[in-house]
Amino acid sequence: MKIIIIGAGEVGFHIASRLSMENKDVIIIEKNVDALRRVSDNLDVQSIQGCGSSPAILEQAGIKGADIVLAVTNSDETNLVASLFANILSPTTIKLARIRSEEYLLYQHALSQDPYGIDVVINPEAEAVKTIERLLQVPGAVDVGEFADGRIKVIGVRLDAETPVAGTKLVDLKDKTGNKKILVAAISRNEELIVPSGKDKLLQGDLVYLVSEEQQLKKTLKIFGKRAEPFDRILLIGGGNLGLKLAQALEGYSIHAKLIEKDPYRCNKLAKQLDRVVVLQGDGSDQQLLQEENIQDMDVVVTLTGNEETNILTSLLATRMGAHKTVTRISKFSYFPLVTAIGLEHIVSPRLAAINSILQYVRRGKVLSAMALKGEEAEVLEAVALESSDIVGKPIREVPFPKGALVVAIIRGDEVIIPTGDSVIRPQDHIIIFSTRQGIPKVEKALMVKLEYF
């Protein structure tokens, strides 16, 4: 698969990093010399200096032989023009464009038609709102993914000293859960990802990834000592595009929400666009203001300003003042391990949300959705089992999936199956697959062709 990536910012760089490790043919176009040097110093990909909206540069990159073009620069206009010329030069190439402007998004349908021919528009803020909504709906989790139209949840929960199942071997887990079947897909421990066996033990401090049916989610969370009821009182800090989008989404829920914005002009604009969310003018990092708004009674504080250092400090302040939970907007991927180390578990990144959205379109096979786990060491995919594949018609234990990959759920019509080794995948089943990053190329082959490739 040949993929051209236009833009070597955080999104372009990290997509290129993932795909190059999977032995895909990646070409990255970037006009900034420093960004291009970062690519050449760290990634095994071909790089071209120039503007990705130039037809000559696109031809130099081999646009006519490309399977996918990802236009992910920080400029909507560059991404649009790049898609336009990519469509003119190679109409059959799949085109994904990162678009942030609300004005352009109003014409999203038109952008899918000629002359632009954009197959998928990625809006980072919209994807980030979906991520935050999932976190708010599953309060006890630090990471949440939805599959099969929400019927399957993949949730990450942090084990603490009060977790009832801490210290339990997985083989003995059913004895503490009343024989309820809970599938533990992965354990993140000391920044190392473990694909567990029955002999592995759940330890305090582990980030455990569980697979649960939507109907069993509350019971699963309670078994792990986590809050199962949705939040009721929410405080948003920062009224930019992301803050506004989230506030508008929250107006559809029966909750009490407030939004603090520093800029008076922006406050007036927000107040006109919001009906149920209360808009307050002030500095969200002002301790006195937070006290006046009874920060200690807030179920969750979401910090969404455009300055990530402000977001980090405000989240720490809110936690210190008694807020039950914080969700922090972070842009720099290099900050992720640091903020986790200082106790900020719940992180949202428009860039990471955009990457998750892009991943499903660069996967071989009939992949419907994808989610990168924290640390990006593993991925969860939802795919359709093709009749021609050897993954169908035999017990899962006889299917030679690569090491570090396993089927964690099967959706057959209205039925959801948490599989055992005896479960059999049928043609057209939707299957949820967990895989380490190293196993992804072989999983892709399994979804397309016979498993003799293994």
pLDDT one-digit tens code per residue, 435-446: 988 888 888 888
Of 51-65, 131-145, 361-375, 398-412, minimum mean pLDDT range: 361-375
Report pLDDT for 363. Answer: 78
Structural domain span for residue 205? 144-223
Selected residue with higher pLDDT from 82 and 367: 82
Report pLDDT for 4. Answer: 97
d(CA 440, CA 1) in angstroms, rounded, equals 14
pLDDT one-digit tens code per residue, 212-268: 888 888 888 888 988 777 788 999 999 999 999 999 999 988 889 999 999 999 999
Cis peptide preceding 264, ω within 30 of 0 = no
135 within domain boundaries: no
Tell whether 26 and 98 lie within a shared domain: yes
30 within domain boundaries: yes
245 within domain boundaries: yes
Report pLDDT for 329. Answer: 95
CA distances from 119 to 83, 226, 398 (A): 10, 40, 38
pLDDT one-digit tens code per residue, 169-184: 988 887 776 656 678 9
Count of structural domains within the chain: 4
CA 296 to centroid of chain Cα atoms: 29
Of 57-61, 100-104, 344-348, 356-360, minimum mean pLDDT range: 356-360
170 within domain boundaries: yes
List the CATH number of the domain containing 317: 3.40.50.720
